[in-house]
């Protein structure tokens, strides 16, 4: 099947072809006709499967097909489509995609997010804006100042809706919904399904079509996943060794905190490994600069907090490293979804110390598979090391002694994407270990 069979205009097909896309992905094949039909839509798919195009292409077709649009009091057509995203980076990326796919159409787009001056955005809003891509917080800033009019919205898109709910945007979303016309098309896209998503969809969508192109809360088959067990104070040295020995380039590393990201960048720089960090305390210009260098290949390592787990679309990103495991298991899926995108293969590495064994167990329960592990000689976890609480994490309930593994957590073979990605093994000279703490005992047994 080609894009030309989906009912899109010649102008859109031309732009898509120039981007190098010839065949739609599974989510696009199902979502594009559904959006063109005018139905509300609840759509779930793994990250990196083309969700952005699955709503931008039919949205552009719909808006460009309607020639009878009345102007507002300022003489310009109204804002007709609103796309909400959880992060600045994702807003910028989506707006760029809308602009590229609509390059041969007479439609104007705008990205609106915080971290930058609001004045240029006010100026742009005085002109024609057909499609607005925004983060909830900055959009409400404009609402409060009376610089944006949402009363003519025809289509609302919540992109990465699950992440927006995880970040606590539900009140902002409800306030924005109250400003929109009741008669509109609603499109809700998610990567991980939860009860929060179900509740939001129930109150927002009107007899929606439901699309899921993969099992819920699973990782992409193209991503080879691996765990390295390591002492908590040896993670930085192990990461540096892996980068050097394997000659890794374009390595996206996730840390749990902003301070941890900055500290790791300093340590890697001292090891003569070029690295920069992006997180909420960085200015938008600094974040944009770091991302640009990482995307063009001039920056070897980008260290990020979960702010970058959504919105980073880097062609053929080869390596993602969880320097710290996330407290929320769904974030693991979003993190490693930065690699293995658009059919390319990728590798996701997790450096796990004894404090994180319970987090790893939660992740494996969510994705319903056990992750292969290795122990590198001289870096292995000491069997006598006691588990310590992770700062800021809710107290984890220990696993009852003798309890059974979670349902569905049986071992599942992982794809082999290259000759180098051989079967899981323990490196010669490694030290097998098990932790004595009740919270991690079950996971530690696997290394005996």
Together in a domain, 131 and 89? yes
Query: Of 123-127, 209-213, 375-379, which has the strongest mean pLDDT?
Result: 123-127
Instruction: Tell whether 16 is covered by a domain.
Output: yes
Give residue-wise pLDDT tens across range 55-77.
999 999 999 998 777 777 777 88
CATH code, domain with 47: 3.40.50.300
**340 and 242 in one domain?**
yes
Window from 104-118, 234-248, 261-275, 419-433 with minimum mean pLDDT: 419-433
List of residues 6+ apart from 319 with CB closer than 8 A: 248, 250, 251, 252, 339, 346, 347, 348, 349
What mean pLDDT do residues 125-139 have?
96
pLDDT at 401: 40
pLDDT (tens digit, 9 = 90+) per residue, 145-155? 999 999 999 99
pLDDT of res. 146: 95
Q: Is residue 388 part of a domain?
A: no
In this structure, are 336 and 361 located in the same domain? Answer: yes
User: What's residue 403's pLDDT?
Assistant: 38
Is the pLDDT at 173 greater than 70, yes or no? yes
User: In Å, how far are 41, 237, 284 from 277, measured between CA atoms?
Assistant: 36, 18, 12
φ, ψ of residue 216 to 5 degrees: the values are -65, 140
Indicate if 199 and 332 belong to the same structural domain.
no
State yes or no: pLDDT of 293 exceeds 70: yes
Better-predicted residue by pLDDT, 287 or 384: 287
Helix H segments across 167-283? Answer: 170-177, 195-204, 235-245, 258-270
Which of 190, 212, 234 is the C-terminal boundary of a domain?
212
pLDDT at 280: 83
Last residue of a domain, one of 192, 212, 232: 212
- 218 lies in some domain: no
Residue 331 inside a domain? The answer is yes
Which pLDDT does position 391 carry in this prediction?
Answer: 67
* Sheet with 209-212, edge to edge strand ranges: 109-112, 131-134, 81-84, 155-158, 185-190, 41-44, 209-212
Say yes or no to pLDDT of 425 above 60.
no
For residues 235 and 195, state if they share a domain.
Answer: no
Tens of pLDDT along 303-353? 999 876 566 667 678 899 999 999 988 888 888 887 766 566 789 999 999
Residue 167 has pLDDT above 50, yes or no: yes
Both 236 and 202 in a single domain?
Answer: no
Identify whether residues 238 and 122 lie together within a single domain: no
Note the pTM of the prediction, 2 decimals.
Answer: 0.68
Query: Domain count of the chain?
Result: 2
Q: What is the mean pLDDT of the chain?
A: 82
For residue 358, being part of any structural domain is answered with: yes
Look at residues 212, 234, 269 and tell me which one is the last residue of a structural domain: 212
Are 267 and 179 members of one domain? no
* Pair 39, 147 in one domain: yes
> Do 91 and 233 belong to one domain?
no
Is residue 297 included in any domain, yes or no? yes
For 268-282, how does the pLDDT look when each residue is reduced to its tens digit (9 = 90+)? 999 999 999 998 888
Domain assignment of residue 179, given as a range: 3-212
pLDDT computed for residue 416 by the predictor? 35
Q: CA-to-CA distance for 385 and 186, rounded, in angstroms? A: 52
pLDDT digits (tens, 9 = 90+) for 21-58: 888 988 999 999 999 999 999 998 766 678 899 999 99
Rg (CA), the chain: 23
Is 347 inside a domain boundary?
Answer: yes
Same-domain pairing of 418 and 303: yes
At 379-415, the pLDDT tens digits run 866 666 666 777 666 555 444 344 343 343 333 333 3
Cα dihedral sign, 356-361-362-366: positive
Question: Is residue 341 assigned to a domain?
Answer: yes
pLDDT value, residue 185: 97
Confidence of residue 418 (pLDDT cuts 50, 70, 90): very low
pLDDT at 387: 67
Residues 106 and 158 in one domain: yes
């Amino acid at each position: 099947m080609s894009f030309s069979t989906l009912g899109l205009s010649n102008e859109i097909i031309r732009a898509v072809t120039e981007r190098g896309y010839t065949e739609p992905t599974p989510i696009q094949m199902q979502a594009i006709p559904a959006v063109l039909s005018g139905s509300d839509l609840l759509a779930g798919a793994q990250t990196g499967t083309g969700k952005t195009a699955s709503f931008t292409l039919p949205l552009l077709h719909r808006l460009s097909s309607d020639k009878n649009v009345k102007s507002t009091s300022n003489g310009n057509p109204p804002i007709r489509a609103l796309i909400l995203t959880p992060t600045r980076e994702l807003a910028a990326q989506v707006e760029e995609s809308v602009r590229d796919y609509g390059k041969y159409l007479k439609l104007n787009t705008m990205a609106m997010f915080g971290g930058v001056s609001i004045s240029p955005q006010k100026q742009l809003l005085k002109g024609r804006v057909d499609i607005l891509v925004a983060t909830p917080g900055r959009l409400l800033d404009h609402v409060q100042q009376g610089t944006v009019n949402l009363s003519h919205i025809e289509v609302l898109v919540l992109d990465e809706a699950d992440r927006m709910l995880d970040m606590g945007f539900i009140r902002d979303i409800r306030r924005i919904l109250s400003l929109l016309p009741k008669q509109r098309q609603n499109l809700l896209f998610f990567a991980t399904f939860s009860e929060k998503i179900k509740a939001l969809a129930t109150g927002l969508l009107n007899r929606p079509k439901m699309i899921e192109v993969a099992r819920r809360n699973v990782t992409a088959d193209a991503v080879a996943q691996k765990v390295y067990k390591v002492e908590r104070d040896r993670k930085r040295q192990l990461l540096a060794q892996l980068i050097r020995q394997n000659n890794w380039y374009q390595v996206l590393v996730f840390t749990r905190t902003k301070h941890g990201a900055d500290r790791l960048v300093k340590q890697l720089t001292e090891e003569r490994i070029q690295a920069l960090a992006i997180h909420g305390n960085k200015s938008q210009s600094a974040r944009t600069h770091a991302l640009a260098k990482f995307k063009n290949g001039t920056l070897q390592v980008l260290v990020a907090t979960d702010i970058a787990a959504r919105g980073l679309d880097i062609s053929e990103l080869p390596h993602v490293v969880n320097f710290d495991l996330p407290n929320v298991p769904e974030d693991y899926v979003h993190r490693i979804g930065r690699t293995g995108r658009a059919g390319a293969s990728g590798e996701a590495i997790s450096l796990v110390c004894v404090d994180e064994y319970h987090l790893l167990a939660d992740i494996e329960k969510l994705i319903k598979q056990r992750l292969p592990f290795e122990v590198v000689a001289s870096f292995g976890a000491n069997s006598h090391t006691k588990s310590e609480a992770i700062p800021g994490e809710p107290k984890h309930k220990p696993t009852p002694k003798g309890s059974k593994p979670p349902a569905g957590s049986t071992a599942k073979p992982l794809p082999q994407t290259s000759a180098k990605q051989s079967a899981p093994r323990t490196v010669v000279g490694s030290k097998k270990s098990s932790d004595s703490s009740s919270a991690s005992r079950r996971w530690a047994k696997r290394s005996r």
